[in-house]
A = this chain, B = another copy of it.
Amino acid sequence: MTENTPHDRGRQTPDPQRRSARAERAILDAASELIVEVGFARMTMEGIASRARVGKQTIYRWWPSKSAVVLDVFNHLTGEQTGEALPDTGDLAADLRTVLRATVDEFNDPTMDRIARAFTAEIQRDTELSQRISGLLVEPGSEVYKQRLRSAIDAGEVRADADLELAVELLTGPFLKRWLMRTAPLTHAYTDDLVDMVMRSLRP
């Protein structure tokens, strides 16, 4: 997956029926522990294999790369909560504050932070992974915001001609920048201010 692996050449796919559930769990658990302990860069396939008490081939049989394994770890961590709608209390600003505060908490969790940074790094060198992540996480996430904003337009809280795509980027972009560049800590006060600022540009 790293730019140009010679992987799926004669790749006859193995039979998913016969896949060992024990091995899969052990691999994902080991990867999850290692990414926190040593970080993505210093985590090795051999390290995962030995901690999981699994042959390396068993990993390579089911995943093409380290980032694919970690992507699966990530999916198992967040699998249930993606696509959930935002709260809709009728007060857009309050609802945005609630959601962004929760996102702040999520990004301040060390496991999440490590995994998210690993992907951010990988995405830069692997366009294919970038598109997978984008379709799997980024766009569904932004759709949820747009849904809430449409409801706010109906309620007259937001002007009807607002560019919702851009509005979502205004809410998430600055957040992302601050986290990425580590220019300042992510706090509830910060996202509250952010919501206030963005609301000014959205009101009728």
Chain A positions near chain B (C-beta within 8 angstroms): 2-4, 39-42, 117-118, 120-125, 127, 130-131, 133-134, 138-139, 163, 166-167, 169-170, 172-178, 180-183, 193-194, 197-198, 200-201
Distance of A107 from chain B, by nearest CB (Å): 13
14 contacts between A and B (CB under 8 A): A4-B42, A117-B125, A120-B121, A120-B124, A121-B121, A121-B122, A134-B181, A138-B181, A139-B183, A166-B194, A169-B178, A170-B197, A173-B174, A174-B174
CB-CB < 8 A to A166: which residues of B? 174, 193-194, 197
Distance of A36 from chain B, by nearest CB (Å): 14
Is B201 within 8 A of A197, CB to CB? yes
CB-CB < 8 A to A130: which residues of B? 181-182
Q: Is the interface of A mostly helix, strand, loop or mixed?
A: helix
Interface hub of A134, A166, A172, A181 (most chain B Cβ within 10 A): A181
Bound complex: CA of A180 vs CA of B122, how far in Å? 11
Is B139 within 8 A of A182, CB to CB? no
Distance of A35 from chain B, by nearest CB (Å): 11
Is B42 within 8 A of A182, CB to CB? no
Distance of A124 from chain B, by nearest CB (Å): 4
A180 interface neighbour in B4, B120, B200, Cβ under 8 Å = B120
Please give me the residue from chain B that is nearest to A38 by CB atom.
B3
CB-CB < 8 A to A2: which residues of B? 41
Interchain residue pairs A-B with the least CB separation, the first 5: A173-B173, A173-B174, A169-B174, A200-B201, A121-B121
